[in-house]
Amino acid sequence: MKTGHPKYGRILLKLSGEALGGEGGAGIRPESLRDMAEQIREVRELGVQIVIVVGGGNIFRGLPGSERGIERATGDYMGMLATIINALALQDSLEKLGVATRVQSAISMAQVAEAFIRRRAVRHLEKGRVVIFGGGTGNPYFSTDTAAALRANEIGAEVILKATKVDGIYDSDPKKNAKAKRFARITYLEALQKQLKVMDSTAFSLCMDNKMPIIVFDLFRAHNLKRVVMGEEVGTLVTG
């Protein structure tokens, strides 16, 4: 592992809801939460400012819900509420490790989370707090990937780190195809043209328009988050 100064001073970490559910991908697994929190603490101790966008797929997804009869907008709002549950669970794990954390929500719920205010979020970062964004964008029909791209640009992050269960972007599913090819580096346009299902097209387009780099990496390998932040070539870099 590299030593010295981190390559990035402010990062946005995108966590899927399924990651909180462990191998099964459903519910909230305390051991998975703790492992994530420890990796986040390790990077925070380097002086890196961290914001997190968390998904809700371990609890509820709006699109599959709509396919089973729930009205699409209603299903998406239910999914947004699921992200708040995950954000509070992650906050609890981080604060048990002594990491000061704030949850900001795109949907107003003053009893459990602050409203998203960009300047307040930046001020929290400057004071050394980790900020978790819940509630997606606050609008139906947008994924938490798009929320991550939006928030990263709003708060001036240097990179989006998308945590997955595989070590980068492949041309096909590596769990189904042993000959799947991993990309060390790929452009936004290539990712869109090849229809690589890592982030949705809206998120990719937003990152492309604003020259926001994305690194897709495996969070379930010990110290991988620190390795990425220190500038090691981990995962796949998506850039212009």
What residues does each domain of the chain span? 10-239
Characterize the bridge pairing of strands 101-105 and 114-115: parallel
Between 101 and 1, residue with greater pLDDT: 101
Residue 1: band (very low, low, confident or very high) from pLDDT cuts 50, 70, 90 = low
CATH number of 10-239: 3.40.1160.10
Q: Name every residue whose Cβ is closer than 8 Å to that of residue 236 and which is 6 or more positions away in sequence.
A: 168, 169, 182, 183, 184, 185, 186, 215, 216, 217
The two three-digit tokens of residue 220, written as one number: 């379930």
Q: What average pLDDT does range 52-81 have in this prediction?
A: 88
Q: Does residue 173 surpass a pLDDT of 90?
A: no
Residue 223 has pLDDT above 80, yes or no: yes
User: Contact at 8 Å (CB) between 238 and 187?
Assistant: yes
pLDDT band at 166 (very low <50, low <70, confident <90, very high): confident
Q: What angle do CA 95, 153, 186 make, to 5 degrees?
A: 100
What is the rounded average pLDDT of the residues 76-98?
A: 96
pLDDT at 2 (0 to 100): 66
